[in-house]
Structure 1
Amino acid sequence: MEVEKFEKKIEKIKEDAGRNILNHFNRIHDRLFTSNNIFIAGYFALSRIEPNINILIIIIPLLNLIFLIFIEYLMMEKSRKEYGIENFDIEELIDFVEKKDRNTSLYSLLSILSTFIVFICFLYLLIFK
C-alpha cells in the first residue's frame, strides 16, 4: 500500500515537471519575443538616427524573429506528436520520450543565445557607431 502511494507521488512529480518545463519555455519565449520586437524598433530607430548605419541592419532582429517562430513551430509539432502518442510503436515511443525534454531545453537555450547575440550587436552599434 505504501509503495503504491509512493509510486503515485513519483508519477505526479514527473507529470508536474513536464508541465513546468513547457510553462517555463512559454514564459521565456514570451519575453524573448517581446525583447526581439523592442530590438526591431531599436535597430530601426538607430538606422534613422545615425546616418552611417544602413537600414538593412534591421535584418539582424528580423532573422532572429524568424528563428524564434521556427522554434515555436518545432514546439507545436512536438505537442502534436504528444497528442498522437498512442499511435507510436514502441521504438518511436522510447525515442520520443528520451528526446522530448532535452530538445525543449536545447530550443530554449538556442533562442536565448540568438536573442543575446541580437542584443550584443545592438550594443555594439549603439556604442561604437
Structure 2
Amino acid sequence: MNNSKETNTILNKILEILVKYQVGNEVKEMGEEADSLIKKAERQGEEATKKLQTTLDRIHDKLFTVNSVLIALYVGFAKFPEDNPLFSLWFVLFPVSNMFYLIYLEISQMSIFRHESQRMKWNFSTDVEKFGKMISRQTLKSILAWFITIILVLFLAFRMIF
C-alpha cells in the first residue's frame, strides 16, 4: 500500500511538472506569436511611411512638370498676341514663385529623410513625435502646393477664355 502511495505521489509530481512545462510552452509560443505580430506591425508602419514619402515625391515631380509648363505658357501669353498680350510679363512671377516653393518642399523632404536616417540614434520620447509632426507639416505644405498650382492653372484658363 505504501508503495502505491509513493507511486501516486510521484505520478502527481510528474503530472504537475508536465502541466507547468506545457503551460510554459504555450506561454512561450504566445510570446513568440505576439513578437512576430509586433514586428509585422512595425514593418507595415515603416512601409507605409516610405510609401507616403514616395508618393509625396511623385506628386512633387508632377507639380514641377505642370509648373514648368505654366511658366512657359505665362511667358508665351505675355508676348501673344503682340499688340494686346493676355498677361503682363509680371504674371510670370507667380509660377516662378511656385517653382521656388516646390524647391523648398524638396529641401524640406530631404530634411525628413535625413532625420529618419538617424532613427537608430533617436530619443524615442521626443524624436518619434518630431518625425510625425514633420510628416504632417510636409503633407500640409504639399496640399498648399497643389492648391497654388490649381489656382495658377485656373487663372490661366480664366484669362484665356475671358
| TM-score of the pair, normalised by structure 2 | 0.71
Q: Which amino acid aligns with 2:103?
A: I
Shift of 1:33: 0.2
Find the partner of 2:97 among 63, 88, 91.
63
Find the partner of 1:107 among 138, 141, 146.
141
Q: Which amino acid aligns with 1:6?
A: L
Give the stretch that moved more between structures: 49-58 or 18-27: 49-58
Q: 2: CA distance between counterparts of 1:91 and 1:8?
A: 20
Q: Tell me the equivalent position of 1:79.
A: 113
* Residues 63, 149 of structure 2: 8 Å contact kept: yes
Find the partner of 2:51 among 11, 15, 20.
20
Percent identity at matched positions? 26
Shift of 1:112: 0.8
Change (3 A) 1:14 1:91: closer
Find the partner of 1:36 among 64, 67, 73.
67
* Residues 64, 118 of structure 1: 8 Å contact kept: no
Q: Tell me the equivalent position of 1:9.
A: 40
Root mean square deviation, CA, Å: 1.8
CA shift digits 1:97-117 (9 cap, x unpaired)? 331331232122111111111
Corresponding residue SS for 2:126: helix
Give the stretch that moved more between structures: 25-34 or 4-13: 4-13
Q: 2: CA distance between counterparts of 1:89 and 1:15?
A: 17
CA shift digits 1:44-83 (9 cap, x unpaired)? 1111113243112111111111111111111112222223
Q: 2: CA distance between counterparts of 1:11 and 1:89?
A: 17
Unaligned runs of 5+ in 1: none
Report how many residues are paired: 128
Q: 2: CA distance between counterparts of 1:3 and 1:76?
A: 35
Give the stretch that moved more between structures: 93-102 or 8-17: 93-102
Q: Are 1:48 and 2:52 matched, yes or no?
A: no
